[in-house]
Amino acid sequence: MYSIYEVKGNESINDIAKKLNISVEDLIFLNGEINNVTQGQLIIIPSQKEYTIYSVKKGDNLNSIAREYNVDAKSIALLNGLKEGEYIYPNQKLLIPKTNIYITKENETLSHLLEVMSLDEVLNNKIYLQSDQILFYKKN
């Protein structure tokens, strides 16, 4: 879902954003206030292939956003630490998965997981189950 980038030399947050083709706002969303980065500092860089960052508009709710991106509202809620139906507000940033996600629970087994996704999806992802692990899958 993300990678770690080590700041080099006299790079600024603007330099990094330009170099990695990501907005400064998205870097700040994931890392907090990092306007003054220093050499050797580690920052989170989102993986554009697994999710997008969405800015909530007036009148949005998790269900309307989920329909727009063709994922379920529960996946958006889980990825953002929200409860389904929780209030979201304009300009709030949300991570929107490009596929549905599932977060494993403590002591969960492969048979539990196979109730949610196909065996091919499990095997192709080489999944090792751990508590609070986020899994991406396609809903049939």
Which pLDDT value is given to residue 58?
Answer: 95
| Res 107: pLDDT | 74
pLDDT for residue 67: 93
- Give the pair of three-digit tokens for residue 133: 């692990």
What pLDDT score was predicted for residue 1? 56
pLDDT of res. 57: 96
pLDDT at 91: 92
Query: What does the pLDDT read at residue 51?
Result: 76
Q: How many whole angstroms separate alpha carbon 65 and alpha carbon 116?
A: 22
pLDDT, position 129 = 60
Q: What is the DSSP letter of 124?
A: H
**How far is 98 from 77, CA to CA, in rounded Å?**
14
Could you state, in chain order, the average pLDDT of each consecutive group of 10 residues for the chain (140 residues)? 82 90 83 86 77 90 93 86 88 85 71 74 59 63
d(CA 77, CA 134): 12
pLDDT at 47: 65
